[in-house]
């Protein structure tokens, strides 16, 4: 006997859900194994390196720190941070190395200097310009009022609206529909 359409649909949905769950679990496992292995077995140094990596921007993701990112470049940068700290370099030495190699963009809090003024002060400048434009618009005089019509112009308008002709003009002709 043939299966009912509802039963067949249930089987297909179960199979699809199972396949999707398997793919999702496989991806989660792959993501876990791609995390950077600490360069040192020292848990305090590992914690310190992750804290410092949290202050550096991932150059691939741009909205994540290298501590949070799983991009291959971020994993490499995390390993560099671990290695440099393990060699005894200070936090500032590691940050200076990253800035020298990748520029100020790698920092979540770039320094205030001539090349970053627009970054730091641009939003405030745009806000001030917007407020100035709004203030100028509100202070403008209202649009000019329509001119008042003379008595002759008012009479002409009234005559046109009434369908009458003015002295010296031909009377308007009104055609009526004829019935056949």
CB 91 within 8 A of CB 45: no
Residue 22 has pLDDT above 90, yes or no: no
Mean pLDDT score across all residues of the chain:
80
Would the pLDDT of 145 be above 60? yes
Q: Is the pLDDT of residue 144 over 80?
A: no
Q: How much of the chain exceeds pLDDT 70, in percent?
A: 78
Res 18: pLDDT = 80
Q: Mark out the alpha helices in 34-90 (DSSP H runs).
A: 43-53, 72-86
Residue 33 in this model has a pLDDT that exceeds 60: no
Domain segments of the chain as ranges: 32-128
Q: How far apart are CA 169 and CA 180, in angstroms?
A: 33
Query: What is the arithmetic mean of pLDDT over 76-91?
Result: 91
The angle formed by the CA atoms of residues 111, 113 and 114, to the nearest 5 degrees, is 150
Could you report the per-residue pLDDT of 97-135, keeping only the tens digit for each?
999 998 888 887 878 888 878 878 899 999 999 999 999
The 10s digit of each residue's pLDDT in 40-69 is 577 888 888 889 998 898 888 878 889 888
Surface-to-core class of residue 37, CB atoms within 10 Å of its CB (0-12 exposed, 13-18 middle, 19+ buried): exposed
Higher pLDDT, 141 or 12: 12
pLDDT-derived band at 29, boundaries 50, 70, 90: low
151-164 tens-digit pLDDT: 898 888 888 888 76
Pick among 3.30.420.40, 3.40.50.300, 1.10.510.10, 1.10.8.640: CATH of 32-128: 1.10.8.640
């Amino acid at each position: 006997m043939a299966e009912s359409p509802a039963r067949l649909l249930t089987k297909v949905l179960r199979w699809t859900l199972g396949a999707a769950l398997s793919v999702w679990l496989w991806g989660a496992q792959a993501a876990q194994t791609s995390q950077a292995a600490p360069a040192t077995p020292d848990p305090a140094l590992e914690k310190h390196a992750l804290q410092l990596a949290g202050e550096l921007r991932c150059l691939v993701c741009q909205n994540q720190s290298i501590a949070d990112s799983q991009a291959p470049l971020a994993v490499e940068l995390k390993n560099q941070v671990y290695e440099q700290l393990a060699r005894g370099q200070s936090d500032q030495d590691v940050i200076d190395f990253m800035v020298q190699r990748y520029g100020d963009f790698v920092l979540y809090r770039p320094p205030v200097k001539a090349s970053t003024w627009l970054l730091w002060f641009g939003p405030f400048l745009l806000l001030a310009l917007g407020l100035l434009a709004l203030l100028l618009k509100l202070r403008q005089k209202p649009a000019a009022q329509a001119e008042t019509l003379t008595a002759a112009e008012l009479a002409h308008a009234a005559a046109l609206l009434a369908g009458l002709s003015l002295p010296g003009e031909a009377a308007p002709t009104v055609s009526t529909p004829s019935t056949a």
